Structure 1
Amino acid sequence: MNVLNILLIEDDMIEVMKLNRTISTLKLGHKIIEANNGVEALEILKRKDDLPDIILLDLNMPKINGIEFLEILKNDAVLKFIPTIILTTSSNQKDLLACYNLGIAGYILKPLKYEDYMSKIEKLLAYWSINELKKV
């Protein structure tokens, strides 16, 4: 299995800590790059020197929301190839459809129970770590 470079775009520090704790507990060697909002994430991605293998994106964020971020990402000739997975509490069908229309790689609802969260993250990262990813 490949070690992944993961860009986590999340404004809730508890959620950031939860993902880091999950990766640590599962003893996965993946590298997490953190951005607190879409603007910060775009600054990281603009450098184009060390691009992530996948992006985990929350929808409800300040400055620009997840859907606005996706629109910018998918209009970039290089960045559009980075698989982007929505990690959110929103079960809104309008959000789900909008995200899939923009070309996301997955849409995962954050479960309330930590054990369920850990299980979902483990499966998600296992899947992407065996994929052949385009090196942009």
Structure 2
Amino acid sequence: MSTSSKQYFDILLVEDNPADVRLTIEALNDLKSEKRLFIAKDGEEAIDFVKGEGEFVGARRPDLILLDLNLPKKNGLEVLEELKSDPEYKRIPVVVLTTSGSERDIIATFNLHANSYIQKPVEYDNFLEAMDTLRIYWFKTSRLPPK
């Protein structure tokens, strides 16, 4: 099944900063993308959501995860390591979406098999452009693995 024929995509945004959550929601809404966006506010919630555990029993596995690195309880690197080391979840594409431009963070995320690394632009128009590029690549150009 081609991803372009899907009616919608399930995106898990893992972000603890309410302003960044709001900005991401606004950017994706402005783009009129065919998506259902779910929010996890820390690393433990992210793992529970993906695995359908805790308060997320019955949640659908996301098609794509947008993962911040600076998170409470479990940081983004710990989340990434746990997901990518589990054969059940390692095929879920994970895009690191963070303010950090540190080479150390970039190397660490790719060593843990992140699929992409995006440094969050500060300006809204640039953020919107980054989200549009992400949407086009992951949901129009690329083929996502089956769930």
8 Å contact from structure 2 (residues 98, 120) kept in 1: yes
Aligned to 2:62: 52
Equivalent residue letter for 1:5: D
TM (norm. structure 2) is: 0.88
- 1:46 and 1:30 map into 2 onto residues whose CA distance is 20
Structure-2 separation of matches of 1:117 and 1:4 = 20
Aligned to 2:85: 75
Quote the residue 1:18 is aligned against.
23
Please tell me the root mean square deviation across aligned C-alpha atoms, in Å: 1.2
Q: Calculate the TM-score normalised by the size of structure 1.
A: 0.95
Counting matched residue pairs gives 136
- Provide the C-alpha distance between the structure 2 equivalents of 1:4 and 1:25, rounded to a whole number of angstroms: 16
**SS of equivalent residue, structure 1 residue 33:** strand
Structure 2 unaligned segments of length 5 or more: list them.
53-57
Q: Give, in angstroms, the shift of residue 29 of structure 1.
A: 2.3
Moved runs in structure 1, 4+ residues, more than 4 A?
Answer: none
Match of 1:27 among 28, 32, 37: 32
Residue 99 of structure 2 corresponds to 89
Deviations 1:86-115 (A, max 9, x none): 000101111100100111110001111000
Q: How far apart, CA to CA, are the structure 1 residues paired with 2:30 and 2:144?
A: 25
In structure 1, stretches of 5+ residues that fail to align are none
Identity %: 38
Letter in 2 for 1:82: I
Q: Secondary structure at the match of 1:112?
A: coil
Displacement of 1:49 = 5.2
| Cα drift, residue 50 of structure 1 | 1.0
